[in-house]
Chains A and B, each alone.
Chain A
Amino acid sequence: MKKLSTIVLILFFGSITVFAQRTVTGTVKDASDVPMIGANVIVKGTTTGTITDIDGNYSLVVPDGFNTLVISYTGYGDQEIDVTNGGMASVILTEGTLLDDIVVVGYGSQQKTDVSGSISQVDGDDIQNKSIVSIDGILQGEVPGLLVTSNSGQPGAGMSMRIRGNSSINAGNEPLYVIDGIPVTTGDFSEQYYGGMDHNVLSDINPSDIESIEVLKDAASASIYGSRASNGVVLITTKRGFNGDAKINFGYSRGSQEANRTWDMLSGEQYAELTGSDWNGKNADFFGALYRTAPITQYDLGVSGGDLKTKYYLGGSFFDQDGTILNQNFNRISGRMNFDHSANDWLTLNAGINMVKSETNVVQSDNNIYGALSLAILQPQNVDIYKEDGSYNFDGMFFENPIATAVEKTNKINSRRTLGNVGVKAQIIEGLAFNSKVGLDITDFNERIYNPVTTSQGGGVDGAAFLNTTSAIRTIFQNYFDYQRSLTSSIGLGLIAGIDFEKYNVDNTSLAGTGFPSAEFQYLASAAEYTNAAQDITGNRLLSYYGRANFSLYNKYTVTGTFRADGSSKFGANNRYGYFPSISAGWQLDKEAFLSESSLIDDLKLRVSFGLTGNQQGLGNFASRGLSLGGNNYQGSAGVAPNSLPNADLKWEETSEFNVGLDFGILSRVSGTFDYYIKNTNDLLLNRPLPPSSGFTGIDQNVGKMKNSGVELGLNIDILKGEIGWDLGLQFAKNTNEVVELFDGQGFDAGFINRIDEGQPLSYFYGWKSLGVDPATGDLMFEDINGDGDINGDDYQFIGSPHPDFTGSVKSGLSFKGFTLDAFLNFVQGNEVLNYTRVFNEDGLRRGFNNNTRVLDAWKEAGDQTDVFRIGGDNAAMNGAGTSSHWVEDGSFVRLKAVTLGYQLPASVIERAGLSGLRIYVSGENLALWTDYLGLDPEANFQGTSNLTLGTDFLTQGLNKTIKFGVIGSF
């Protein structure tokens, strides 16, 4: 980063004509005598420079009159060497402290020492070694206070991201994503799928193109993004070119995946025995037929380079992943070009374009009676999968043949994405620049479903097809001035001020038809009847004014203030503009006299910040208007009917956040950050319930309050340095969530048994508290709170929280010569998960669904001590009721998320092959899971993108185990 910015800065100061020159050569090495590849060598006071080669060597023509070279390398302290005498000039760089790095912030970048908000940085190198499909997956376990949850093992499926807990009930809890300064479209355009099958728009971004990711966690760092910043902001910076010969990077990996766990279900014989029927001798192995070992492959190719005037990065990749369930697939082709050009001494141009095509084959699952995995779990196995002639058997299947549902049906998502930006930077006077950029984010989303006549879902109607096409276009025009100046040697000043205008338009068309000539005809042109046609056009506008001032004194004290005013077409007429200020201060304690001589402490910085941010995600585009909706037709003629009441006061949710943090470095071995925060969200967007007798069931209003508070700790420890290196990274976060106020104190239900009440964590589990199985009767006993002898709705109580007590991860990196062994463990502790799958597959066989083998231990006679209630009996419905804590389980887990063994081939070997670097590795993901959870995966959530259905597993596919081999090289 620093390298890049140094070069960029130099560009602005123009080139200097020189007349006489001499050549200097040398070597750059680190403290352990290892040559440093790609170190930056620049003649001080000029734009002349080069980078070191694979052996750390450089050769540079130094103009007369210049006698100093500046050597820099990310993560290391700059060094200047005197070359007055020319000839050889070698240097050893020592590692600088991490605090010296540059951090990308909203609209620009800052020295980390100047940052006084809470920002976490994830480096591109950390990204490259992961075989993760999407950005959110990369961040899993990397950032203290960021909880990333994989909702399902379906390839391409969505993840849920929560920075510092859930701050909203209805307005959305996902962070804002900004790629190269441009906010991008996120979310799920799929119309047909349930939770775990949500499509993930973020999976359109190829991780190999990423240089770094910054997560803006507190209000002070995020509030420059105003009304969209309450859930934090993720800034993604893609790779750019540099001044030097073309460098070609390539990567290839191939691996295979397997389901981590499957359910142990009753065999056909056991099912017959327990239901007291005669076994027909059949025993279908659904899981054996449905699950498979699935390949995963990735190819990457990148070229970057340039000269002093023009720099480029070109990257291309192909990713192909089969799912562990038959017919699941996700594949993606992407290409990116980043370009920078210095047009003259005051104008630079920059552009970036990313084109992606991805394709997902989804298999119906989750809360769906036609889901493949759902049926494989719930269909009793005393049936045949195939008939003797090889065709699918439907005899004895209560809804559908699970294998047929996976294989015969088409559920295809095609997504085409173009992200582009073109900008200029004009240097007006020294220190003052004007930046202008136009950004475009185009998503073309196409979802096609076909249920042929050969399946029972398509059977009654001779085949059914559905098509949804969505085109979402975001256009941004961004303009800002920035001013960076050292007023004196001890006072630094940075200012930015700008205006953005953003347009977002969505055009969604869907079409459905039935009656196809045969299974070969899949497309709607062949449908006999069109059962649905709809087009929905919507959008919004955002006009923003923003500014930031940061001021630093003696490199010890920094103060930063930011401000943003957001005007949105979504806000009601009485509240068109929202204002979001913030202030933060940092104190570099280690530079004070009382610490500067300390040999113990290398770095110590205290940060304090306060700011206001907003959230308008879930706010309907026209929710503030009293509208009458078209499409209310009758007898084939158009009709319009009132469908909402106006609320001209409707606006963003507002979060105020206080953060205090400490960055520290001890003994050149330990560095870390600690943060404490309190986040209060006011004016929660709630659908205030109206009595339906008014003609309406609710109206969106800003009422309600929510509070999150917590601590975060990140530690990096260099245990061993030298030939054998060992780094340890530890992360820990604890967040406490509480719903403080609701409209009129009225709680409400969500999901299956989630509930939102004042004084409780968001979406806690609410139901009967099970006291276990009564050894006398075999029935579940429930706590009768009011002691009236009846177990009914009055006995519902708090029976669990989906929010973890704490989360964290441990990262270990061992290195010896060219070998590296990295391991990554993440853990979640103290949350409850509603295992709704068990409500069906452990129901005491009362509804004809197959049960898991735990029912073999069901209560049988008086005196049996067991936690599985009896089969049958008069209380079967009560026992099986989904509203009890019998199904609420401890969701804590420790997961061995990744292990990678890598080997960097020695330079002597690869040079002969004409390469400059080559690394081979073997890695495994999700290798082990330690949990008491009885289901497939405690992380799975069938409505992962829902704000309110938290911690609910319902027939959801778990995460897969992956083993793969890969190679990364460059020349």
Chain B
Amino acid sequence: MKYIIKYISLSILAIGFFACEGPLELDPAQSIDSEQLITDAATAAVAMNGLYSNAQDLWGGITTITMDVGTDITDHIGTFPNWLDIDNSEQLPDNTGIDDSWINGYALVYNANVVLAVVPTVSDPGLDVNQALGESRALRAWAYYYITNIFGDVPLIQSPISTVDEVNVTKSSQGDVVNFIISELEQALGELGDGGSANRITKGGVNAMLAKVYAHVGNWSMASAAADRAISGGYALATDYMSIFDGSVSSEAIFQLDFNSTDANSISFYYWDTPGGRHEVGPSDMIRNSFDANDVRAASITAAPNSVNADFQVTKYSDFALGTDKPILLRLADVLLIKAEAQAELGNFGPASDYLNMVRARAGLGDATLDAGNFKDMILTERMKELAWEGGHRFIDMQRTGRAANYAIANGEDACKSVWPIPRAEIDANTAMEQNPCY
């Protein structure tokens, strides 16, 4: 009996040990509670990396390819129905390619909102609050620039939600969104320090963004001024055009996302022929035939080696094995062409032609002369050839110049199909959301 009591007492002790609340407390190993995301300079730096990781999701894959599929430079040749529909301007609200831009865009916005809200409350002398704010602000603005280009009027969310009761946000007009982008970029310019790597947001990057957004709203003098500031930021055109895409940060890169084999992207997997790639999308005949004989940029297309239908593939991305292609979002040639466009719009065709010819010369082409009659088409075509398959520029250029509507019409669809539908997931879950016209 004595032993029984002894044994049971021991066991009850053991039970007593477990019977407190303690044993149910368990913390995840790969995550932290979001309240502890930013507490000092070190964690702020880590959170900033997290924000750039969101940028990789948004601009390092599906979104920019999808945008290009929705233009005249990319054809869908594979089996994904979502890209086939977009190529035919028949996209529906449940198109997963479109979903991706919306989801990744707003994920970046949320994360940036968190950083912008929390960083000013951290008291750590080691933390450069303004630098963090400037980078986050510019990334958020640039995400909004893509979101509004693709979807038109969109919710403009400027602070992180804390409960699910705050999720029903109505649309703001595209005008309001663009004005917000401009004011945010101007504010970021004041917050950012000088210098910095093209792999992150710099003053040069923000100036380039401003040049493009001012051009978008037709404020050509401001566009020109911002372009000037960007051009004088220490960048230089690379001598060899194709070397820009060799995986290094070239002398003309202004904002270029870094990727390594750990956070690999799938861009060339979609462009590249089998084996190795899927060859879902390829260059259109129109762009392939548009290059002059001497144009070195024609090398951005090559015949797909194993294609049964003699298709072609894009060569600006090539590392399908490891996914380390480094997509360039902003570079000097882009800004030079914006500068040329702004000067032409302001009636200064001489300087405009000079800027255009800097880009043409590097491409191995002779000088061109812009005038009031030809400049819109010439600059747009030059931008297409120079910047094809980079950063969705063609899509945005077609939007801001009104040609996106023509593309939809050429596909036998209504002009309003040039603005994509609000994804069904948003329409279903957001009671304040209205679908875009046409869908």
Nearest Cβ on chain B to A767's Cβ, whole angstroms? 14
Kindly state whether residue A477 has any CB partner on chain B within 8 Å: yes
Shortest distance from the beta carbon of B317 to any chain A beta carbon, whole Å: 15
Across the interface, do B7 and A533 meet the contact criterion of CB distance under 8 Å? no
Which of A515, A630, A693 is close to B157, meaning CB atoms less than 8 Å apart?
Answer: A693
Q: Which of B23, B260, B320, B322 contacts A636 (CB 8 A)?
A: B260
Closest A residue, CB atoms, query B51: A641
- Are A691 and B168 within 8 A (Cβ)? yes
Q: Are A461 and B29 in contact (CB under 8 A)?
A: no
Q: Are A639 and B167 in contact (CB under 8 A)?
A: no
The answer to whether the Cβ of A772 comes within 8 Å of any Cβ in the partner chain is no
Cβ A461 vs Cβ B276 within 8 A: yes
- Flag A675-712 by CB within 8 Å of B: 1 or 0 each: 00000000000001111111111010000000000000
B382 within 8 A of A: no
How many of chain A's residues have a CB under 8 angstroms from any CB in B? Answer: 74
Q: Is B277 part of the contact surface with A, judged by Cβ < 8 Å?
A: yes
- Shortest CB-to-CB span from B412 to chain A, Å, is 15
Q: Give the most central of A460, A532, A537, A793: most B CB within 10 Å.
A: A460
- Is A878's CB within 8 Å of the partner chain B? no
Among A543, A632, A636, the one with the most B-chain Cβ atoms within 10 Å of its Cβ is A632
A541 contacts across to B, CB distance below 8 A = 23-24, 26
The reply to whether the CB of B194 lies closer than 8 angstroms to some CB of chain A is no
**Given known A529-B322, A538-B28, A543-B18, contact A634–B34 (CB-CB < 8 A):** no
Q: Is B258 an interface residue (CB 8 A)?
A: yes
Indicate if A45 sits at the interface (CB-CB under 8 A). Answer: no
Bound-state Cα–Cα, A793 to B424, Å = 13
Complex: how many Å from CA A699 to CA B429? 12
Other-chain contact of B34, A460, A536, A540, A627 (Cβ < 8 Å): A627
Q: A531-B261, A621-B28 are in contact. Are A639 and B47 (CB under 8 A)?
A: yes
Residue B160 CB within 8 A of the other chain:
yes
In the bound assembly, the distance between CA atoms of A688 and B28 in angstroms comes to 22
Asked whether, in the complex, the Cβ of B47 is within 8 Å of the Cβ of A641, the reply is yes
Given A479-B15, A635-B52, A641-B51, is A691 in contact with B169 using a C-beta cutoff of 8 Å?
Answer: yes
State the CA gap A499–B168 with chains docked (Å).
46
User: Is B92's CB within 8 Å of the partner chain A?
Assistant: yes
Asked if B363 is an interface residue, CB under 8 A from chain A, the answer is no
Q: Is A629 an interface residue (CB 8 A)?
A: yes
The answer on a CB contact under 8 Å between B320 and A460 is yes
User: Pick the contact of A692 from B36, B47, B92, B426 — CB < 8 Å?
Assistant: B426
Q: Does A436 contact B (CB under 8 A)?
A: yes
Mark contacts of A514-552 with chain B using CB atoms, 8 A cut-off: 1 yes-contact digit, 0 otherwise: 110000000000000111110011111101000000000
Residues of B within 8 A of A630 (CB): 30-32
Task: Indicate if the CB atoms of A695 and B160 lie closer than 8 Å.
Answer: yes
For A461, what are the chain B residues with a Cβ–Cβ distance below 8 Å?
A: 275-276, 321
Q: Report Cα–Cα, A399/B306, bound state, in Å.
A: 12
With CB as the reference atom, state the residue of chain B lying closest to A630: B30
- Is A691 in contact with B425, judged by CB distance below 8 angstroms? yes
| CB proximity to A under 8 Å, residues B1-16 | 3-4, 7-8, 11, 14-15
Q: How far is the CA of A693 from the CA of B320 in the complex (A)?
A: 31
Residue of B nearest to A629 (CB): B31
- Judge if A637 is at the interface, Cβ distance under 8 Å: yes
Q: Which of B15, B114, B160, B428 has the most CB of A within 10 A?
A: B15
A626 close to B34 (CB less than 8 A): yes
Interface residue B255 (Cβ < 8 Å from any Cβ of A): no
Q: Does A428 belong to the interface (CB within 8 Å)? A: yes
Chain A positions 478-497 with a Cβ under 8 Å from a chain B Cβ = 479
Residue of A540, A568, A635, A746 touching B199 (CB-CB under 8 A): A635
A695 touches B320 (CB 8 A): no
Contact of A459 with B by CB under 8 A: yes
A529 to B30, CA, bound (A): 25
Known: A426-B4, A629-B31, A633-B53. A640 touches B37 (CB 8 A): yes
CB distance from A418 to the nearest CB of B (A): 23
Partner of B263, one of A567, A621, A633: A633
State whether B28 touches A426 (Cβ < 8 A).
Answer: no
- Asked if B50 is an interface residue, CB under 8 A from chain A, the answer is yes
A432 to B66, CA, bound (A): 72
Q: Which of A540, A625, A637, A638 contacts B33 (CB 8 A)?
A: A625
The closest CB in chain B to the CB of A576 belongs to B24
Known: A460-B275, A640-B47. Contact between A568 and B24, CB under 8 A?
yes
Render B218-252 as a binary contact track against A, CB cut-off 8 A, 1 for contact. 00000000000000000000000000000000000
Q: Is A628 an interface residue (CB 8 A)?
A: yes
Provide the residues of chain B in CB contact with A694, threshold 8 Å: 106, 110, 157, 161, 164, 166-167, 169
**Chain B residues positioned under 8 Å from A529 (CB to CB):** 261, 321-322
B37's partner among A538, A576, A628 (CB-CB below 8 A) is A628
Residues of B within 8 Å of A796, CB to CB, are: none
Q: Is the CB of A514 within 8 A of B321?
A: yes
Is B111 on the interface with A (CB-CB < 8 A)?
yes
CB < 8 Å neighbour of A697 from B11, B263, B425: B425
Known: A533-B262, A636-B260, A638-B49. A628 touches B110 (CB 8 A): no
Closest to B107 in A: A695
Expressed in whole angstroms, the Cα–Cα distance for A569 and B50 within the complex equals 28
Q: Mark B46-81, 1 if CB is under 8 A from A, else 0.
A: 111111111010000000000000000000000100
Q: Are A695 and B25 neighbours in the complex by a CB distance under 8 Å? A: no
When distances are taken between beta carbons in the complex, the residues of chain B under 8 Å from A515 are: 321
Q: Which of A530, A629, A746 contacts B30 (CB 8 A)?
A: A629
- Would A641 and B425 count as touching, CB distance under 8 A? no
Does A299 belong to the interface (CB within 8 Å)?
Answer: no
B24 to A641, Cβ gap below 8 A?
A: no
Provide the A2-14 mask, 1 if CB < 8 A to any CB of B, else 0.
0000000000000
If A477-B14, A569-B24, A631-B30 touch, does A641 touch B54 (CB 8 Å cutoff)?
Answer: yes
Query: Is B19 among interface residues, defined by CB-CB distance under 8 A?
Result: yes
For A612-631 the 0/1 string (1 means CB < 8 A from B) is: 00000000011001111111
* Contact string against B for A residues 859-888, beta-carbon threshold 8 Å, 1 for contact and 0 otherwise: 000000000000000000000000000000
Q: Does B145 contact A (CB under 8 A)?
A: no
- A426 — which chain B residues lie within 8 A by C-beta? 4, 7-8
Cα(A793)–Cα(B421), bound, Å? 15
The residues of B that contact A633 with a CB separation of less than 8 Å are: 49, 53, 262-263
A679 to B179, CA, bound (A): 56
CA distance A530 to B260 in the complex (A): 11
- Interface presence of B103 (CB below 8 A): yes
In angstroms, how far is the closest chain B Cβ from the Cβ of A578?
A: 12
A438 to B428, CA, bound (A): 50
Q: Which residues of A contact B48 (CB under 8 A)?
A: 639
Contact among A540, A638, A639 with B26 in the assembled complex (CB-CB below 8 Å)? A540
Which chain A residues lie closer than 8 Å to B168 at the CB level?
691
- Contact (Cβ within 8 A) B8 A428: yes
- Interface hits, A629-669 → B, CB 8 Å: 629-646
Instruction: Determine the chain B residues whose CB is within 8 A of the CB of A470 once the complex forms.
Output: none
Complex: A536 Cα to B29 Cα, angstroms: 8
Can you report 22 A-B residue pairs in the complex whose CB atoms are below 8 A from each other? Answer: A399-B274, A427-B4, A457-B275, A460-B274, A460-B276, A568-B24, A622-B28, A625-B28, A633-B49, A637-B46, A639-B51, A641-B53, A642-B34, A642-B110, A642-B114, A645-B164, A692-B102, A693-B157, A693-B433, A695-B110, A695-B161, A699-B164
Residues in A lying within 8 Å of B, measured CB to CB: 346-347, 399, 424, 426-428, 434, 436, 456-457, 459-461, 477, 479, 499, 501, 514-515, 529-533, 536-541, 543, 567-569, 576, 621-622, 625-646, 688-697, 699, 746, 793, 847
User: Which B residues form the contact surface with A (CB < 8 A)?
Assistant: 3-4, 7-8, 11, 14-15, 18-19, 21, 23-37, 43, 45-54, 56, 79, 92, 99, 102-103, 106-107, 109-111, 113-114, 154-155, 157, 160-161, 164, 166-169, 199, 258, 260-264, 274-277, 320-323, 423, 425-426, 428-430, 433
Known: A628-B47, A691-B425. 6 other contacts (CB 8 A): A459-B275, A541-B26, A621-B28, A625-B33, A692-B106, A692-B107
Give the 4 A-B CB pairs with smallest separation, nearest first: A695-B110, A460-B276, A639-B49, A641-B50
